[in-house]
Amino acid sequence: MSLTFTAGHDTIKRADKMNHMFALIDEICVIKERIQPTDCGHLNTTVRVLADRIDELREELSRDDKN
């Protein structure tokens, strides 16, 4: 992944953001397959955190499109 350092957040190329987002989506699918009826709260939490990160990336990509 190529990074350009700027004030605030690191600027990541659009293709890298998309690849990262798709990898997170794939990871959520793997984790969901491991969820059992009990004792899997940590997996549910992980799915929610990763889904939130995907939403953040979508927003970043949307903002990038407008600029």
User: Where do the domains of the chain lie?
Assistant: 13-66
pLDDT at 8: 45
Distance (Å, whole) CA 14 – CA 17: 5
pTM of the model: 0.79
**13 against 5, higher pLDDT:** 13
Distance (Å, whole) CA 61 – CA 16: 11
Confidence of residue 66 (pLDDT cuts 50, 70, 90): confident
